[in-house]
Amino acid sequence: MPLLYEDVESCGFHGLAVLLQYAIDDGEVILFEPWRNPVKKTLELIEQWVQYPIIGFNLAFDWFHINKLYTTFVQYLKNGGKGEDTPYHNVEAMAVAEEQARFLNICVKPSSALDIMLYARKGPYQSLMSRDDIRVKRVPNIMADRLQSELENRVSLDGIYFKRRKDQFAPQWNVYDSTDKNGNIDPEFKDIVLKFKPEAGLKALAEYVLKAKDILRMGDVEVDPKFRPVELGHAPFARAVGRPGRWNGAWPEVIDQHILHWAFNREARRYASNDVVYVRGLHKHPNFAGATIGDDDSILATMVGSVRWRGFAVNIERIAKQRISAVERTTQAPTAPTAVNRWLGEVMDADEAMIFKSEGTADKVLLKIGGTILEDDCDCKGNDKGCSKCGGSGSIESFVDYWETENGDPHPAAERARAVRKARKAQKERELYDKLIEARRFHASFIVIGTLSDRMSGTDGLNPQGIISSKYVRSCFTLADRPKEQLDGGDFASFEVCISAAVYDDKGFENDIKSGKKIHALFGEAIFPDQTYESIMASKGTRSGRDFYTDGKRGVFGLNYGGNADTLVNRLGISKDVAEEAFVRFEKRYPGVKRARQRIIDMFCSMRQPGGIGTQVEWHEPAEKIESLLGFPRYFTLENQICKALYALAQNPPKEWREVKTKVVRRDRTQTASGACQSALYGAAFGLQGQCMRAAANHVIQSTGAGITKAVQREIWELQPIGIHEFVVAPLNIHDEIMVACDPKISDTLTQVVSKKVEEFRPIVPLIAIDWNSNLESWASK
């Protein structure tokens, strides 16, 4: 079947499209101007597009605009416009239609799709995704420039990893001030840092893969910045910003400049045409030979765009009431940095208050003082108003790792730090309500592969993944437009625990989970051998005494994500001996856990010391990648390359370094400056290795969960007819939850589709289950 290669240029990020570029197979690139053609011609073109498999770059963006353009033009006709009308002469009428078009319930769905951007993220160019800096810490001043120069020569990475830097000719490795754990600058040492600024856009790949020359970038051809529209990602329509006669900079005020620019600027049109040429070139390139039209991620990208524009229903009346409460809660404690500093300082001595001078009042600092606020579901499910643990709220709140006084009581500053965090949380809640009130709808926007573990991430100003999980907040999200729709949905039961059981492949562990036992309490038994399973479960949510269950829960997160004894020490405040014994006990009870952890170590522990700490370090080539249980790869090629270079330099530094006789004290140890430099290199290399091992352990579990959730979501989307139709299903995926606004007539079929698809994964994840419900009142009702 012929393929359609496409791209879209829009007025701003969220305004209406102003140019549609496409080509059929190897045919000429056509630039279509929807604002200078009759309305009916644009509608006919889009109706033709959906008959083809669509190949593009960042289809979630393009398909949002295709759905928006089509429905806006249809609404314009419904409002009395004519098919022969030219939109260029009817801008304000189009802006009015735009807001109304969200409620048309029309979906534009192509026959199939391939997103070149997403395929690149799955394999050949995954390393171009965002990643942390590489930092060689506490290098003696006298060695800093020497080490920077040596690293620059030895670890020279392709320029694509730094393409977004302002200065393309600046060194890749740079010297920065070194700070201690309190944020104070240490004048004796420097850090040598590799800061990545990769560019993974279409133009960068065209240059890197296709070796394209004289590439035009948006900055070369864009409309004059003074004509950028004022816009809101969470409310992507002009009337959220202004109104006819007073648009306040929204797209109707500037779109004529964009229309004329893309119509008559020769370089801009060459840029637009090249987009299609580059997409087609990448699709045909051998490095993209494995790209499959119709893969889950590409199909979901078009779904995300369609559903984002449609939006989901919210209860504005309820939101307005809860906003009043959120505003009131923001007044319970100061939130501005200076005021927080002053308020907490009232109950702190001078030495304690130094933490604000060195680290400020960021959330991580308040965490140190007030501890982590943990919320867990209470066994009463909120049905017992007299419950001693939750007071009938259904949620248990507890605190760990907070400051204490000398006699072991909670420090007065701890309670105030918690109050500040709660007030700031209320601020975020109020901001969420404000955005929903502006949009009067929930326009959920996602990046389909938003992390290296394949999970979706939220974007465009309102992160769906970050919405508070409290039932009172989620009850505002009715999601379905009744009475035509109903809300069905659910979440995977103990998802990560079930996947963990599959990864560990330990029958004893699996049988304990099947019996209904909680993995958090089981791990709690390993940490606290003087406690029984029953006593640990009874401690859950206790306000007096230690919450052994919560400590076990925190330990499990460390276990699943590649942590070691040090992780438990940091998370739980227990001694290293106790932490090590806990792992031994747990692995003895479940030998499959030990095998799974050892597999990761064997794959990614490149530097080993057979003789123990302080002895000779040996290099063992690490694995290039690890795959989820579904086969999604996480590559470590770049990390391995850097790690090996750091190790090699630490093992064999330049001879002239030994001539530096200066002595320094680094981490309570006197060394020569060159020796301290070697220690810093080893520290950076071992730190990077540890990150890889933790990421690998994390990937096997989280990527498996992401893949399963996407596959179920894709199966649900198959119920939506191809072409131009009313929405039958509008899925929303948040972590391990899937909610679907659906036509009531297909609810039973939807339930069967979900059940069947989940069952297909049972050979891989034997304990998998999803709690699915129909005709829910809101997101909180699942």
pLDDT in tens, 125-184: 898 888 889 999 999 999 999 999 999 999 888 888 988 888 878 899 999 998 765 557
Per-position DSSP letters for 234-262, written without gaps between them: SS-SGGGT-BTTB-TT-HHHHHHHHHHHH
Rounded average pLDDT over 651-668: 88
What is the CA angle 660-661-667, rounded to 5?
A: 100
Which of 48-57, 383-392, 560-569: highest mean pLDDT?
48-57
What is the phi/psi pair of residue 94, to 5°?
-65, -40
pLDDT tens digits along 158-171: 888 988 888 878 89
Residue 532 near residue 548, CB atoms below 8 Å: no
The whole-model pTM stands at: 0.90
Asked whether residue 375 carries a pLDDT value surpassing 70, the answer given is: no
Instruction: Give the separation between CA 492 and CA 761, rounded to whole angstroms.
Output: 12
Per-residue confidence (pLDDT) for residue 380, from 0 to 100: 60
What is the mean predicted confidence (pLDDT) over 634-648?
A: 95
Question: 380 and 389 in contact (C-beta within 8 Å)?
Answer: yes
Q: Which residues contact 456 (CB under 8 A, 6 or more apart)?
A: 446, 447, 448, 449, 450, 465, 706, 710, 733
Mean pLDDT for 567-575 is: 76
Residue 752 pLDDT: 98
pLDDT, position 563 = 75
Whether residue 15 has pLDDT greater than 60: yes
| For residue 591, cis peptide bond before it (omega within 30 degrees of 0) | no
281 or 586, which is more confident = 281
Q: How confident is the model at residue 539 (pLDDT cuts 50, 70, 90)?
A: confident
Residue 360: left (phi > 0), alpha (psi -120 to 50), or beta?
A: left
Half-sphere exposure of 55 (CA within 13 A, CB side): 25
- 695: helix, strand or coil: helix
Q: Residue 550: its pLDDT value, please? A: 83
Q: Over 80: is that where the pLDDT of 692 sits? A: yes
- How many other C-beta atoms lie within 10 A of the C-beta of residue 246? 9
Kindly indicate the confidence band of residue 447, based on its pLDDT and cuts at 50, 70 and 90. very high
How confident is the model at residue 63, as a pLDDT?
A: 98
Task: Quote the mean pLDDT of the chain.
Answer: 91
For 503-540, letters b (16+ CB in 10 Å) and e give: bbebeebbebbeeeebbbbbbbbbbbeebeeeebbebb
Give the model's pLDDT for residue 383: 60
Query: In the block, which residue shows the tokens 């071992």?
Result: 686
List CB contacts of 257: < 8 A, sequence separation 6 or more: 223, 224, 227
List Cβ neighbours of 32 (8 Å cut-off, separation of 6 or more).
19, 20, 21, 22, 42, 45
Q: What is the predicted pLDDT for the residue at 401?
A: 62
Helix axes 747-760, 673-717, angle to 10 degrees: 140
**What is the rounded CA–CA span in Å between residue 450 and residue 116?**
15
Output the pLDDT for position 544: 63
**What tokens appear for 762 in the block?**
């049972």
How far, CA to CA in Å, does 15 sit from each of 64, 114, 237, 238, 252? 11, 24, 7, 7, 9
Lowest mean pLDDT among 133-137, 150-154, 271-275, 384-388: 384-388
Is pLDDT above 80 for 395? no
Q: Bigger pLDDT: 556 or 634?
A: 634
pLDDT in tens, 188-236: 999 999 999 988 899 999 999 999 999 999 999 999 999 999 999 999 9
* For range 590-616, the mean pLDDT: 89
Q: Which residue has the tokens 């390393």?
A: 127
Closest to 572 in 3D by CA, of 538, 547, 536, 542 = 547
> What's the CA gap between 556 and 564, in Å, rounded?
11
pLDDT of residue 639: 94
C-beta of residue 443 within 8 angstroms of C-beta of residue 357: no
> At 377, is the pLDDT very low, low, confident or very high (cuts 50, 70, 90)?
low
Distance separating alpha carbons of residues 322 and 324, to the nearest angstrom: 5
Give the pLDDT score at 362.
87
Out of 179-188, 381-390, 491-500, which region has the weakest mean confidence (pLDDT)? 381-390
- Confidence category of residue 370, pLDDT binned at 50, 70, 90: confident
Q: Could you give the CA distance from residue 347 to residue 370 in angstroms, rounded to a whole number?
A: 13
pLDDT of residue 580: 87
